[in-house]
Every structure is written in C-alpha cells, then in structure tokens.
Amino acid sequence: MGEEVFIIDWIQLNLTGRYRAIKELFSRGLSTEEIISFLGLEKEKLLALRKRAEQEYKRSLDLGIDLIPISSDEYPILLKNISDPPALLYVLGEKVWLKDNFISVVGTRRPTRYGINATRIIVSRLVENGIGIVSGFAYGIDTVAHTEALHGGGYTIGVLGTGIDVVYPKVNRGLRKDILESKRGCLISEFPIGDKPESWHFPRRNRIISGLTQITLVVEASLKSGAMITAGYALEQGREVFAVPGNIDSENSQGTNQLIKEGAKIITSGDDILEEFNVIPKLTTIRLPELNEEEAIIWNILNEPRLEDDILNISGFDVSRFNIIITRLELKGLIERLPGRMLKRKDG
C-alpha cells in the first residue's frame, strides 16, 4: 500500500513537469510529500493531478508498464545527473541499461544510402563488442541503428516522444515488436500514457537520448536536423559528441561536418568509438562458410556493400548464373539485399 502511494506521488510529480525543481528538492533529501507541497500548486490543480496520477497508475498495471521514479536504484544514473531529468520513467521491455555500456546514435529521418551504410557499419561493430545503442525510435537513422543493434545480437533502447503505449511512427510497429520480443531492448518515455506525438515532445525527448549516455554519435544530419538538437543537449550536459564526416556537397552531412569543425571527434569506424570505452576491439570473426567456388567468388567481392551491377561486372558471371548464386547465398543467410539493388554480407 505504501509503495503504491509512493509511486502515485511520483507520477503526480512527473505530471507537473517541474523537473528541475523536483530534482533539486529530491537531491536535498526531501520526501515526495514534501516536494509536492514545496512546489506550491493550487489545491484544485493538485487534486486534478492526483486523480490523473491514480488513473495513470492503474493503466500502467493493466498495460504491464514499469514505472521507475528518480528515487529508484534502477533509474539510469547518467540520466539522473542531468539538470532536468524526468521525475519518472515509463518503461516497456527489459531494463537493459543496467546490463551494459551504451552510446547514443542519432541522425536524420531522411538519410542517404551513405548514412544508412555508415550507421550499419558502426553500430554492428559496436554491438559486436558489447556496446548497446540508444536512439530516438524515429524513422531514418534511428530505425537503422535500433535494427542493426538487434540484428547484431546487441542491446538497444528507444526513447519515445509519445506516451509509451503509442505506436509511432506507425511504420515502426514491426521494430517495436522486435525490440520488445527480443528481450534485448526497451522503450522509454517520460510522457503520460496515451500522449500523442506532439511536435514539442521531440526536441525535449532528445535531452533524454543524450542524457542516457556518455557519448552521442551523430551519423548524418543537416544543419536543421533534430539530431543537432540532441548534440546540443549532449554538450550542455557535459557529454561528448562524435560525428561521422560526409561529403561537403551533401546537405545531410552539413550538420555533422559543422560539429566536427566545432571539435566533435571524427568517427570513421566503430573502432574509433571502442577506443573511448577502453574496449579492445574483437577481431571480426572470419567465418568460413560452406561455399562452393562460385559462391566464394561473389562472397569475396562483397567485402563491402555493393551494387549488383558492379558485382556482376567484377565477377564476370552471366546474369542468369549470377542471380542463381545470389539466391543460394541468400538462402544460406550469408548475404542480404538492400533497396536499390545493393547486396551486402550479413553480419554476425
């Protein structure tokens, strides 16, 4: 009973949105009751919030949502240290931040193929070495980062700009399911259950992405991209910002190149990041799959993702034979296909 009242207190506090003050008061050792009274809210408002908090609590039980107040040992430590941490986190899935090191990977919602490839290359290397990935569950680079982390057998955390139960963006419903069912990831939100994707949620949510980790990596971002906001928060929070360089004529690399100019560490491989974690990079396990001679030729050409036409030219196969070999490699689970007729080796 006491526990329940206690959690409802925290929900109520969270609903006030007065994160700075709450953190301030809580770190001085005040109880929830004391903090509530300190905030000096009108009585009516207080009652309304209380009622809402009680409903919120009930719904979270129904939906299987974990509620983690800032007072909890399970609350992410790095996040606790920012100036305006949420008073309470809504969580679905495994609390994986307790298990591993994490890095935030963010970028544009409209990546180029380059941005996508860069994300995949770096993320797969990181998860291979036990670094988990925090991102914003948005379309684009975020989605690539989460997906790649799961594919590589790693951990991932999606920070939502909506209520924890809201499926947004809708096309990511599959990813949402994958994260939750994998037992290797979770979704986190500070917003009340059922909250819609309001545009003001997203920049605010970004401070949690950067706040959860020591390093924020920006893969591909235009100057106006939300990822730049996240980078800004990271700096404000005294965290580090890394960036992947890009072509100077690519709009999507103007933000990242700008960050580099301002002193962000240049990242051109996953190993550049592993250094920072003092992780000794694992030698990429060279798998010697059961390949026949023809398959081996294609496999060797695929040392990086390539356009089908290019592989065909290099290999010298006729197109019919080529397509047969490709299907065989796909069936063996060794290569995969990307939109735009690209092929790549499947990692892991």
Partner 1 sequence: MPFSWKGIPIGMLAKVLSATLLGIEGALVDVEVDISNGLPSFTIVGLPDQAVQESRERIRSAIKNSEFNFPVKRITVNLAPADIKKEGPAFDLPIAIGILMASECIVSQLDSSFLIVGELSLDGSIRPVNGIISMAIMSRELGIPIMFVPYENSSEAALIPGVKVYGIRHLTEIVQFLNGNISLSPAGPAKSIRINEVSGDFSEIKGQESAKRALEIAACGFHNIIMVGPPGSGKTMLAQRLPTILPPLTEEEALEVTKIYSSAGLLPKGGGIIEERPFRSPHHSISLAGMVGGTSNPRPGEISLAHNGVLFLDEFPEFRRDVLEALRQPMEDGTLVISRAHGSIRFPARFMLVASMNPCPCGYLGDTKKPCTCSPYQIERYFSKISGPILDRIDIQIEVPRLETDTLIKSNLGETSESIRMRIKKAREFQSYRFKDGFRANGLMEPREIKEHCKLTPSVQGLLREIIDKFHLSARSYDKLLKVARTIADLSESELIREEDVLEAIQYRVLDRKYWEKKFS
140 CB neighbour count, 10 Å cutoff:
26
Comparison of 51 and 113: residue with beta carbon closer to partner 1: 113
Classify residue 106 as exposed, middle or buried by CB count within 10 Å of its CB (0-12, 13-18, 19+): buried
Comparison of 66 and 336: residue with beta carbon closer to partner 1: 336
Comparison of 50 and 110: residue with beta carbon closer to partner 1: 110
Rounded least distance, CB 320 to partner 1, Å: 6
**What crossing angle do the helices spanning 141-151 and 173-182 adopt, rounded to 10°?**
30
Strand 342-345 relative to strand 335-338: parallel, antiparallel, unpaired? antiparallel
Handedness of CA 124, 216, 161, 110 (dihedral sign): negative
Comparison of 111 and 270: residue with beta carbon closer to partner 1: 111
Hunting for tokens 């995949």 — which residue is that? 120
Comparison of 40 and 340: residue with beta carbon closer to partner 1: 340
Rounded least distance, CB 333 to partner 1, Å: 8
Rounded least distance, CB 290 to partner 1, Å: 16
Rounded least distance, CB 143 to partner 1, Å: 5
Comparison of 101 and 256: residue with beta carbon closer to partner 1: 256
Rounded least distance, CB 219 to partner 1, Å: 12
If you count them, how many residues does the chain have?
348
Rounded least distance, CB 180 to partner 1, Å: 16
CA distance 126 to 135: 14
Q: Which tokens hold the place of 1?
A: 């009973």
- Residues of this chain that interact with partner 1 (CB under 8 A) are 108, 110-116, 139-141, 143-144, 147, 169-171, 174-175, 251-252, 307-310, 312-313, 319-320, 322-324, 326-328, 330-331, 336-342
CA distance 103 to 131: 7
Rounded least distance, CB 210 to partner 1, Å: 22
Instruction: Please report the beta strands in the chain, taking only residues with DSSP state E, as ranges in sequence order.
Output: 66-69, 88-93, 101-106, 131-135, 156-159, 185-189, 215-218, 240-243, 265-266, 306-307, 335-338, 342-345
Q: Pick the closest to residue 19 from 83, 90, 89 (CA basis).
A: 83
Comparison of 29 and 340: residue with beta carbon closer to partner 1: 340
* Phi and psi angles of residue 103, each rounded to the nearest 5 degrees, phi first: -130, 150
